[in-house]
Structure 1
Amino acid sequence: MFRMLQQPLLWPTAGSALKEAIDGNGHPLLLLHAAGTRVADLERQAVSCNDAPKPPLYVPPTNEQLVDEILGVSKEVTRFAFSVLTTEPDAQCHYWPVTPPERFTGPWNHTLRNPTLVLSNTADPVTPIASARLVKELLGDSAALLLQNGPGHVTSSVPTLCTINKIRAYFTDGVIPDENEICQLDEALFPGSEHQLGKYTEDERTKLEAAETLHALMMDSDLSAFQQA
């Protein structure tokens, strides 16, 4: 269910599956759990582990030490310790084989030539709006914050033309949004689970479909597979 919170376009499908489960038929919910997932490669670990600082003379723990530690946490703190370790996409950096020499270590007080565009939904279940505002505050004049007034993990979870056009303007012409600018969603999430593409121009449909495809790739999922489950 936490994954469903990240992808609002799937809420109608998930709601239907939950209704079936409440009524005694858990099969649609099982299919929904299995649909659209794939085994990801290590691109996430490559970014996280290459960026992660390593203390001087760092010696990674052995497999035996890790197992002992997790068993202790599972016994003394929470029985969900193994779940956290096996599902966290930024874990396992103790096995990462390299420390890249080009990793930036500061100074961090530069004023950037081109401001960074920070994006955030107002109701993101993974990276909350408070974190986006903190990033903007830390970067100061070197960043601009654009909010999308909606749920889901990252703005592409509900592709919206306002946000898409602001991003395109930023990357194409270096135009940054006005301070405190908020993009509204193009349509309601219920009852439909897809954009009503008929009301858009061909160019707008292309933008929305591209954003949905990019989001599905980022989330390691196939929206059509979920919707057909």
Structure 2
Amino acid sequence: MVYYRFAPILVLAFASTTSYSAASNFGGSQIQWGACDPSVVNDTSLACGFLEVPLDYQNPSVGNARLAIIKANATGERRGSLFFNPGGPGGTGIQEVNDNKELLLEVTGGVYDIVSWDPRGVGNRTSPGEIFCFDSLAEYSTFFNGTIELTGIEETGNFTDPADVKALLAQAPIMQTKYEEVGQKCLRSSGGKFLKYIGTAAAVRDMVSIANVLDGPEAPINYMGTSYGTLIGSWFVNMFPERVGRVILDGVFDPIAFATQEPGNTFSSQRVFSDTVYKALITGCALTGPSGCAAASEGDGPLDIDAKFQALLQHAYDATKVNSSVPLTPGDIRLALWGEMYFSSDWSNFVNEEYPQMVQIVNGEVPANTSRAIRKRSTDLIRRMPLMKRSSESNDSPSYTTSAIYCADSVDPQGTTMEDVFEGIISASRNVSHMFGSLWPFPFYCSFWPVRSVERYQGPFNKKLANKILIASNLLDPITPLPAAESLAGLLGQDAVLVRQNGFGHTTVSAPSACMNEIFFAYMTNGTLPANGTVCEVDADFEVFTGVNTADILAHIPSTDI
């Protein structure tokens, strides 16, 4: 699952109407292209439009969905469209194409129109739109007051303290009831009747509908997906193997695990490298020293810096035992650190700007009458939750879109209780990820979600494809680890080539690599694929910290457990 910062509202307006239609599976629908609203999309070369599609492709009589779409025109001789999904689930394709048009055109050779859309449940222009289960942030906060939903899970020492275990398990019946009630609130919300029509299978069929309009119903479909977008991709290539054109999947969700296990049960396997990525951060900090990292003192090694983070967590933990309303809980700090695991390009800013502020807040060194700005910034940092992140102008409560899509796609409930979920978290904290095993909230409550999508693809995932696809993965990805990419490549056999990048972070685009860009370019422009198992390096001139690059950090990561 990838973390992105999103605009709070997406509005499309039309200044001109260029119509482009072709035969489709839905009554000759067409897209009216027009100018995008400049308050949202600042690149005037981009075009925006809508397409109506069936809510339920097996039962069109239930009504239509409307997709908000964006397009960047090819800069060279056009060979068709390339569809892009940035992840999430819940990522806005419109904002991502606006922000990353040049990179997308560059790595694909400029010979495709780059097309993306806000999938069902995303934003306020696609319909069904963003999923809100509470009417306001105040209602949400009151509902979850005094629970781990707001504070995170409090534990130290990798959940070895029996008191921490007892305290968490004591909340199990309360949290199960809460999440069961949330599910019912979502069903009663204005978008509740649409919950069964969102999900990955719908996203795949919607993409095919857009492709049918733009390129024709027989044309190969070209696609690039990152993070959750790889689940859309793995479902697409197996649901429509005859339509597969050139497909890149970067940062792979394991489709077998997703099709056979509840999301809470895949937690451990997704975190296998997350602590190693954390060790990369503290290693880089130690290598650059105090001149480049405020968390380092002269002569510090990685374990010395880890000790400072552990002390910060312990101090925050102790403070919450005295006053449950402290500005930063240990759960908040872990969530902040987790956000940093995705992109190493932000590590220097984090350790030099945000980490010292967190230390000040936890130590009570910020006077009450002057701390508002610092505390707000830290709160914004720690509350950038990947599962409930967006609000709208009319509703400031958290969005449940990501959870709704995860749970709509999940296997049927299997009798899992919240105590079972908590036992899994305790085990993961002890045995898999000491730093991030106790992160909360995550979509562990799919066992209590009342809806599943009208269509879920659960395999097989080894169909014979019309064209070979390219799979990419970082060596150390905190959330979509390399074994998931290896699994998908193994399932597809001769129809997939796996390329690894010797880096850390979420997806290969988390760090620059001319090698990876050249592979993407060659594949997209002339179909050339490298040898299976090819390894790319991150560019040597990309400094994570002053004077420290990715290769330096990889060479010095300690093998000692943290």
Q: Same fold (TM over 0.5)?
A: yes
Matched-pair contact (CA < 8 Å) for 2:474–2:507: yes
What CA distance in whole angstroms lies between the structure 2 residues aligned with 1:29 and 1:172?
49
Partner of 1:167: 520
SS at match of 2:341: helix
Matched-pair contact (CA < 8 Å) for 1:169–1:175: yes
Residue type of the partner of 1:123?
A: L
Instruction: Go from structure 1 to structure 2 and tell me whether the alpha carbon gap of 1:117 and 1:33 turns closer, same or farther (over 3 Å shift).
Output: farther
Q: Does 1:99 align with 2:445?
A: no
Residue type of the partner of 2:530?
A: P
Structure with greater proportional helix content: 1
Structure with greater proportional strand content: 2
Instruction: Go from structure 1 to structure 2 and tell me whether the alpha carbon gap of 1:71 and 1:117 turns closer, same or farther (over 3 Å shift).
Output: closer
Instruction: Return the offset for 1:10.
Output: 0.9
What CA distance in whole angstroms lies between the structure 2 residues aligned with 1:126 and 1:85?
13
Q: Does 1:87 align with 2:441?
A: yes
Partner of 2:497: 144
What CA distance in whole angstroms lies between the structure 2 residues aligned with 1:43 and 1:180?
36
Task: Tell me which of 535, 544, 550 is aligned to 1:189.
Answer: 544
Q: For this pair of structures, how many residues does the alignment match?
A: 177
Task: Tell me which of 343, 367, 377 is aligned to 1:7.
Answer: 343
Residue type of the partner of 2:380?
A: A
Q: Does 1:120 align with 2:473?
A: yes
Residue type of the partner of 2:486?
A: R
Instruction: Go from structure 1 to structure 2 and tell me whether the alpha carbon gap of 1:29 and 1:167 turns closer, same or farther (over 3 Å shift).
Output: farther
Select between 29-38 and 112-121 the one with higher mean Cα deviation: 29-38
What does 1:1-229 align with in structure 2 at a 5 Å threshold? 1-17=337-353, 20=356, 25-26=360-361, 31=377, 34-35=380-381, 37=384, 39-40=389-390, 41-54=399-412, 66=418, 69=419, 73=423, 86-88=440-442, 90-93=443-446, 94-95=448-449, 97-101=451-455, 103-186=456-539, 187-191=542-546
Matched-pair contact (CA < 8 Å) for 1:45–1:91: no
Select between 164-173 and 149-158 the one with higher mean Cα deviation: 164-173
SS at match of 1:126: coil
Instruction: Go from structure 1 to structure 2 and tell me whether the alpha carbon gap of 1:115 and 1:96 turns closer, same or farther (over 3 Å shift).
Output: farther
Instruction: Return the offset for 1:30.
Output: 8.0
Instruction: Return the offset for 1:147.
Output: 1.1
What CA distance in whole angstroms lies between the structure 2 residues aligned with 1:111 and 1:13?
46
Instruction: Go from structure 1 to structure 2 and tell me whether the alpha carbon gap of 1:84 and 1:37 turns closer, same or farther (over 3 Å shift).
Output: same
Any idea what the Cα deviations from partners look like across 1:112-149, whole Å, max 9, x if unmatched?
22223221111222222233223322321121111111
Matched-pair contact (CA < 8 Å) for 1:17–1:29: no
What CA distance in whole angstroms lies between the structure 2 residues aligned with 1:42 and 1:160?
35
What CA distance in whole angstroms lies between the structure 2 residues aligned with 1:176 and 1:33?
45
Greater relative contact order structure (CA < 8 Å, 6+ sep): 1
Any idea what the Cα deviations from partners look like across 1:85-128, whole Å, max 9, x if unmatched?
8421x434342534223x32434442222223221111222222
Instruction: Return the offset for 1:156.
Output: 1.6
> CA RMSD for the aligned pairs?
3.9
Return 5+ residue gaps in structure 1 as ranges.
194-229
What CA distance in whole angstroms lies between the structure 2 residues aligned with 1:184 and 1:71?
38
Select between 117-126 and 33-42 the one with higher mean Cα deviation: 33-42
Instruction: Return the offset for 1:192.
Output: 7.5
Moved over 4 A (4+): 26-30, 58-61, 70-74, 83-86
Residue type of the partner of 2:469?
A: T
Matched-pair contact (CA < 8 Å) for 2:421–2:444: no
Any idea what the Cα deviations from partners look like across 1:159-208, whole Å, max 9, x if unmatched?
33332343344345443332221221122322189xxxxxxxxxxxxxxx
Residue type of the partner of 2:475?
A: T
Structure showing greater radius of gyration is 2
Matched-pair contact (CA < 8 Å) for 2:461–2:491: no
What CA distance in whole angstroms lies between the structure 2 residues aligned with 1:136 and 1:71?
30
Matched-pair contact (CA < 8 Å) for 2:463–2:492: no
Residue type of the partner of 1:95?
A: W
What CA distance in whole angstroms lies between the structure 2 residues aligned with 1:160 and 1:170?
16
What CA distance in whole angstroms lies between the structure 1 residues aligned with 2:484 and 2:492?
12
